[in-house]
Amino acid sequence: MTYTGRSTHSAAPIILLACAVLSAGCNRQKRGPVTGGTTTVQGEESVMKMEKTVAGHQLSYLLQGPVGEKPEKGWPLLLFLHGYGECGDDIDKVRKHGPPKLNKKISELAGCVIVSPQCPRDSWWRVEALKTLVDEVVEARGDIDRARLYVTGLSMGGYGIWSFISHHPGFFSAAVPICGGGNPFNLPANRPPVKSGIENEFNPEGLKKAAELPIWTFHGTRDSSVPLVETKLLVKIIQEAGGKKIRFTFYEGAGHVEAWERAYDDPETWRWLFSNGVNDAGQ
């Protein structure tokens, strides 16, 4: 049917309806990226904040969504923990290294949800705050495969991973800690008054319970910030506990930064990480 001439109906209801739809979309984005169906908003990105305060942390985080069709069991999720130099309140700092920077270049990263929190200035990663953060994201989205939760991090982020798995060895399906360590106070530079707000949450006895966790750890032999021996000690704990799923790659002649650049630039790192948990039923 074709209409001619001027309409006698006001356009106001249409405008109000459009505004209501836009408003609802904005409110939904502020609450969290809840999605459904077989696909999600492609490559969505937002800055979020934890709902709860845990261990003194209410972390802000960069949330990067996946691209493509949602897997039948849901999207994999990757937690990325930055190093000490990216602490503060400028969330763009977390894009400096690793997954938040590489998510558009590496297919495995493009096909997962990436959660990149920012640790407050003069502080250190807190295990229970990180666990609560992941739990909040998983619950809010409702489209995550709980059998495919992964974690990677560098330097201070590597420390955060080793501490986390020493308390919650079965939480993640696989872990890639790079040039980190266990007790941060083994390093003179981490002791007051050089740095403040650092706490040691690493539990050596607890790490033994992570013997069945797939771990691939990396370090450079010429790391002047975190000596190679720090990773060697952790690998030894896992191996002496009967761990058969740990891989240790050290780059001859590589320094602190080069270790994670080489590890993250290697496609095999990501193929290995995301291959874990694929056939698990989930919880």
Q: C-alpha 61: how far from its chain's center?
A: 9
Residue 239 has pLDDT above 80, yes or no: yes
Q: Is 243 left (phi over 0), alpha (psi -120 to 50) or beta?
A: beta
DSSP state letter for 61: E
Task: Determine the average pLDDT of the residues in 147-171.
Answer: 98
Task: Determine the average pLDDT of the residues in 126-137.
Answer: 98
- Number of helical (H) and strand (E) elements in the chain, helices listed first: 9, 8
3-state secondary structure string, 100-134? HHHCCCCHHHHCCEEEEEECCCCCCCCHHHHHHHH
Residue 34 has pLDDT above 60, yes or no: no
Residue recorded with tokens 């709980």: 146
| Cα three-residue angle 283-151-28, rounded to 5 degrees | 70
Higher pLDDT, 11 or 267: 267
Residue 255 has pLDDT above 70, yes or no: yes
User: Bridge-partner residues for 215, per DSSP?
Assistant: 175, 246
Least reliable range by pLDDT among 10-19, 38-47, 158-167, 207-216:
10-19
User: E strands within the chain?
Assistant: 45-49, 60-64, 75-81, 113-118, 144-154, 174-178, 215-220, 246-251
Task: Determine the average pLDDT of the residues in 100-119.
Answer: 95
Residue % of the chain over a pLDDT of 70: 84
In order of 163, 172, 210, the CA distances from 239 in angstroms are 17, 19, 10
pLDDT number for residue 279: 72
In which band, very low, low, confident or very high, does the pLDDT at 127 lie, cut at 50, 70 and 90? Answer: very high
For 48-102, write each residue's pLDDT tens digit: 999 999 999 999 999 999 999 999 999 999 999 999 999 999 999 999 999 999 9
Residue 35 has pLDDT above 90, yes or no: no
pTM metric for this prediction: 0.85
Could you tell me if 57 and 126 are in contact, meaning their C-beta atoms sit under 8 angstroms apart? yes
| Beta-sheet strand order (sheet of 144-154) | 45-49, 60-64, 113-118, 75-81, 144-154, 174-178, 215-220, 246-251
In order of 14, 147, 149, 176, the CA distances from 280 in angstroms are 49, 6, 12, 19
In which band, very low, low, confident or very high, does the pLDDT at 280 lie, cut at 50, 70 and 90? Answer: low
Q: Tell me how far apart the alpha carbons of residues 34 and 40 are, in angstroms, rounded to a whole number.
A: 9
Could you tell me if 74 and 173 are in contact, meaning their C-beta atoms sit under 8 angstroms apart? no
pLDDT number for residue 57: 97
pLDDT number for residue 42: 73
Q: Which domains does the chain have, with CATH numbers?
A: 40-275 (3.40.50.1820)
pLDDT number for residue 29: 35
pLDDT number for residue 43: 75
Task: Determine the average pLDDT of the residues in 247-266.
Answer: 97
Least reliable range by pLDDT among 67-71, 169-173, 230-234, 277-281:
277-281
pLDDT number for residue 53: 97
Residue 32 has pLDDT above 90, yes or no: no
In which band, very low, low, confident or very high, does the pLDDT at 9 lie, cut at 50, 70 and 90? Answer: very low
